[in-house]
Amino acid sequence: MASDANAPLRSGPEVRDRVRWSDVDIMGIVYYGRYLRFMEAAETEFFRAIGFPYGVLSEQHGVWIARVRLECDYRAPAKLDEEIVCRAELQKIGGSSMTFAFPIARAADGTRLVDGTLVLAALDRTTLRATRIPAPLLAALSTAPL
Amino acid sequence: MASDANAPLRSGPEVRDRVRWSDVDIMGIVYYGRYLRFMEAAETEFFRAIGFPYGVLSEQHGVWIARVRLECDYRAPAKLDEEIVCRAELQKIGGSSMTFAFPIARAADGTRLVDGTLVLAALDRTTLRATRIPAPLLAALSTAPL
Amino acid sequence: MASDANAPLRSGPEVRDRVRWSDVDIMGIVYYGRYLRFMEAAETEFFRAIGFPYGVLSEQHGVWIARVRLECDYRAPAKLDEEIVCRAELQKIGGSSMTFAFPIARAADGTRLVDGTLVLAALDRTTLRATRIPAPLLAALSTAPL
Amino acid sequence: MASDANAPLRSGPEVRDRVRWSDVDIMGIVYYGRYLRFMEAAETEFFRAIGFPYGVLSEQHGVWIARVRLECDYRAPAKLDEEIVCRAELQKIGGSSMTFAFPIARAADGTRLVDGTLVLAALDRTTLRATRIPAPLLAALSTAPL
């Protein structure tokens, strides 16, 4: 039985928001940089869902999560007031890194708008250097209910 | 001899920047919230000019500068690619607060676009509570060359 | 029986969102300019709730809504991950203008964080000049169910 | 004589700006999404330098420039008040697309902070569909003095 190389290990909760006035450019479509806010919401809710919101990671485990690589493929434009749906899909876990895909779609018809990817790294809160993913987070990435 | 109640105590350096694609909304004019970036640049350069960039205030004097009141009157729109000019004008000094006006204009013809006002407060870096303006900053606000 | 001069004419739907990583500054509190996104969401949902989302106003009535005055009083800071609640309260209707208050509070304990005010103006979509509020919008501002 | 596969076809003007308060996150380093503003300034100044600012492209040639792919590799963090330098390097020209690299560095010591890449596409201003790069722009991309 073949496995799908791109199948996510885990999928986080769906986040939804509307395209706001401030998201849209002179062409009447979402500015490319503004999709990061949907990705950020989806990423944040993924970590909250597995029990590790950023505050807990920082205060209890001394770790910040930083971004080390970003990719966005823009496939279709979104317009003012359209509802957008996004979720974080964990694709890969390394020693100190995690790779997430962020499919972003128009809620009304499911049209894929953007394929986002982020590589995150665990940083020691004091030195801001890469550090190993704390064991409890590592366990939760694999097994926490979602 | 009459004095002008609105004359600034001090005027900071002029900052200039162009209206970028990300500043402009679907009407083709600068989004109202984006003028804050011109005000921020002008405010920052004022403090740098008198010898107290934020890093120095924080590390040497234990103080952060926070905003406690914002006002903007939008008088005329700016368009893509127009050059904008702004400066910070110190209007009033209190025990822990400073009031600045920010005239924002189109560089090409001097048209006033926005009248901004910010009330800043000195915060203790540790408690984030209002604290007296450090004496060296107070002196520089009045006498540092600009 | 005394009336309250500050009582809103109408209150729009409550909007809720969490403080995101990108909202927070080096002090760990929400950057003053980022509260505009909560105000924008509340304003947008007010107009949608009375049946006049911006797209309808523009396409069916030839009118854009622009901001002509902004005020924010910052009363308490919000931190990473806190849930924020905001709504748009219509305070005054003029020939071409509408004044809204935006109380912004921490959801957990109701602490007031920011008092925002916006004066909006109806603009002719083609000339970008102030125009009278279209009669159907004027009626909806007073009588549409909320 | 060997050619360098990654050597840019053309390099645009250097743009410089300081890291502002609003650029920095709770870790005290530039938020990953904020580097886009340096890339945008560099991209804009590239097109202005070859004689095709966006307004001219739109009004005289009926073309908008849209982003279809974004990549950022984050190599080192930048801090509050540091001066940042960036430029747009044209890497490849296709029928309707242009690929630019954006090296972003700390001005003080030349440390590379981010390697950005953007693929731009020419869009018909009316249909928002991909269209061929207008011939005068194509010529300027290759030969305009920089």
Asked whether residue C40 carries a pLDDT value surpassing 70, the answer given is: yes
| Chain A residues whose beta carbon lies within 8 Å of the beta carbon of residue C40 | 20-22
Among D23, D24, D32, pick the best mutation site for testing chain A contact (most A Cβ within 10 A). D32
Under 8 Å between Cβ of D132 and D122: yes
pLDDT in tens, C45-62: 999 999 999 989 999 999
Residues of chain A with pLDDT under 70: 1-5
3-state helix, strand, coil in chain B (%, to 5): 25, 40, 35
Provide the β-strand partners of residue C49. Answer: none
Residues of D in contact with B118 (CB under 8 A): none
Q: How many CB contacts within 8 angstroms connect chain A with chain C?
A: 36
Please say if the pLDDT value at position C6 is more than 80.
no
Q: What pLDDT does B7 receive? A: 84
The Cα of B135 is separated from the nearest Cα of chain A by a number of Å equal to 31
Between helices C135-143 and C54-61, what is the axis angle to 10°? 150
For chain C, what percent of residues have pLDDT higher than 70? 97
Q: Identify the segments of chain B with pLDDT beneath 70.
A: 1-5
Q: Specify the pLDDT at position C115.
A: 98
The fraction of chain B above a pLDDT of 90, given in percent, is: 89
∠ CA(D3), CA(D8), CA(D14), 5° rounding?
145
pLDDT tens track for B92-129: 999 999 999 999 999 999 999 999 999 999 999 999 89
Query: Which contiguous run of DSSP H or E holds residue B41?
Result: helix B36-49
Structure tokens at B112: 């006033």
Mean pLDDT taken over chain D: 94
Which residues are CB-neighbours of B92 under 8 A, at least 6 positions away? B9, B98, B99
Q: Are the C-beta atoms of residues A31 and A88 closer than 8 Å to each other?
A: no
Q: How far is D33 from chain A (nearest CA, A)?
A: 7
Phi, psi of C54 (to 5 degrees): -55, -40
C54 contacts C44 by C-beta, under 8 angstroms: yes
pLDDT class for C5, splitting at 50, 70, 90? low
Q: Rounded to two decimals, what is the model's pTM?
A: 0.94
Nearest CA in chain D to A39: D33
Cα–Cα distance for residue pair C102/C8, rounded to 1 Å: 10
In which residue are the tokens 């990300």 written? B22
With tokens 């590390």, the residue in question is: B59
DSSP state for residue D138 in the 8-state scheme: H
- Residue B5: predicted pLDDT: 58
Tens-digit pLDDT profile for residues C59-111: 999 999 999 999 999 999 999 999 999 999 999 999 999 999 999 999 999 99
Looking at every residue in chain C, the average pLDDT score rounds to 94
Residue among C130, B25, C34, D119 nearest A80 (CA)? B25
pLDDT given for residue B55 in this prediction: 87
- With beta carbons less than 8 A apart as the criterion, state whether C130 and B76 touch: no
Radius of gyration, CA atoms only, chain D: 16
For residue C2, pLDDT beyond 80? no
CA of B9, closest CA in chain C: separation in Å? 23
Contact A113, A105 (CB under 8 A): yes
In this prediction, residues D42-47 reach a mean pLDDT of 97
What number is the ipTM of this complex? 0.93
Q: How far apart are CA B116 and CA B23, in angstroms?
A: 17
DSSP state of D108: T
The percent of residues above 70 in pLDDT, for chain D, comes to 97
Partner-chain contact A40 C22, CB within 8 Å: yes
Chain C nearest-CA residue for A67: C21
Gap between the Cα atoms of B94 and B121, Å rounded:
9
- pLDDT, averaged across chain B: 94
Task: With H, G, I as helix, E, B as strand and everything else as coil, classify residue D13.
Answer: coil
Confidence grade of residue D78 (pLDDT, cut at 50, 70, 90): very high
Chain D residues lying within 8 Å of A69, measured CB to CB: 71-74
Residues of chain C contacting A21 with CB distance shorter than 8 Å: 40, 44, 54
Cα dihedral sign, D43-D45-D51-D55: positive
Mutate to test the interface with A, among B21, B24, B26, B82 (most CBs of A within 10 A): B26
pLDDT at C1: 43
Q: Do A22 and C44 touch (CB under 8 A)?
A: no
Nearest chain B residue (CA) to A80? B26
Distance (Å) from the C-alpha of residue C30 to the closest C-alpha of chain B? 11
Q: Residue C16: what are its φ and ψ, rounded to 5°?
A: -130, 140
Round to whole Å and give the CA distance between A68 and A99: 10
Residue C23: CB atoms within 10 Å: 26
- Say if the Cβ atoms of A74 and D64 lie within 8 Å: no
Cβ-defined contact of C74 to B72 (cutoff 8 Å): no
Q: What is the pLDDT of residue A2?
A: 47
Distance between D128 CA and the closest CA of chain C, angstroms? 18
CB C87 within 8 A of CB C15: yes
Encode pLDDT of D88-137 as tens digits: 999 999 999 999 999 999 999 999 999 999 999 999 999 989 999 999 99
Q: Yes or no: say if B52 and B44 are a contact pair by the CB < 8 Å rule.
A: no
Q: C73 to chain B: which residues are within 8 Å by CB?
A: 68-69
At A143, the amino acid letter reads T
User: Does residue D3 carry a pLDDT above 80?
Assistant: no
